[in-house]
Amino acid sequence: MTKVAALSAGASSRAGNTVFNASQVDGFAVAAPPEPPVVERNMGAERFLDALDITTVFGGDRAFYRPSTDTIHLPRFEIFRDATSAYAVRVHESAHATGAPHRLARDLSGRFGSNAYAAEELVAELTAAFVCAYLGLSSEPRPDHAAYVASWLKVLRGDKRAIFSAAAQAERAADWMHQRQLQSEKAAEVKDMQAV
């Protein structure tokens, strides 16, 4: 009788394995953990995001925009699985920053789970999609997208015009970001002319 047949017939199987700590085995060397992949930077995306002139703090394990200090907080670039993910998250958080009173003045007071929060998340995701497409970055959905999508559906079901409003606000945010590029380029030209 084979082991599978014996198990299905109700017989038990007991396999015993002895486990040792690596330090207890003479001559065994613990393999070094694999090096994380080198995440290549995209200089065009770097210039685009730097020209936004939004204070960004790198470190920690979460990405968020803090309205009270007008700062974006992001994990270190190397933490992301690839460059596109890093840039997509930074654009998303930058989109939130465009809602500050001295920029486009959107309502950023909503708490997680509220309709206002869901609407702002939709604006930020649409802005990120528009800008990432412009930058030639294709992004995959992040693991936290399911929670965002669920909250968006609630808003979208409650207001049939919500997607149009969010898309219009996302377009304004993307336009603001593009305008910052033009201002940055003009400032660089003036600086170059002054240097001559």
pLDDT reported for residue 4 = 41
Burial 58-92 (b: 16+ CB within 10 A, else e): eeeeebebeeeeeebbbeeeebbeebbbbbbbbbb
Residue 134, pLDDT above cutoff 90 = yes
Q: How confident is the model at residue 132 (pLDDT cuts 50, 70, 90)?
A: very high
Is 79 part of any domain?
yes
Is 35 part of any domain?
no
**pLDDT tens readout for residues 11-31:** 455 566 677 677 777 877 777
Q: Find the mean pLDDT for residues 42-57.
A: 95
Residue 150, pLDDT above cutoff 90 = no
Winning range, highest mean pLDDT, from 2-6, 88-92, 150-154:
88-92
Q: Find the mean pLDDT for residues 103-109.
A: 93
Is 109 part of any domain?
yes
Higher pLDDT, 56 or 85: 56
Is 59 part of any domain?
yes
Is 28 part of any domain?
no
Higher pLDDT, 46 or 186: 46
Q: How many domains does the chain have?
A: 1
Mean pLDDT (the chain) is 83
Give the residue numbers spanning the domain of 182.
43-195
DSSP-assigned beta bridge partners for residue 57: 73
Q: How confident is the model at residue 32 (pLDDT cuts 50, 70, 90)?
A: confident
Is 38 part of any domain?
no
pLDDT reported for residue 172 = 98
Question: DSSP of 75-117, one letter per residue?
Answer: --GGGSSSHHHHHHHHHHHHHHHTTSTTTT-----PPTTSHHH
Is 179 part of any domain?
yes
How far apart, in whole angstroms, are the C-alpha atoms of residue 137 and residue 87?
8
Q: Find the mean pLDDT for residues 26-37.
A: 70
Is 61 part of any domain?
yes
- Of 68, 39, 44, which is closest to residue 55 (Cα–Cα)? 68
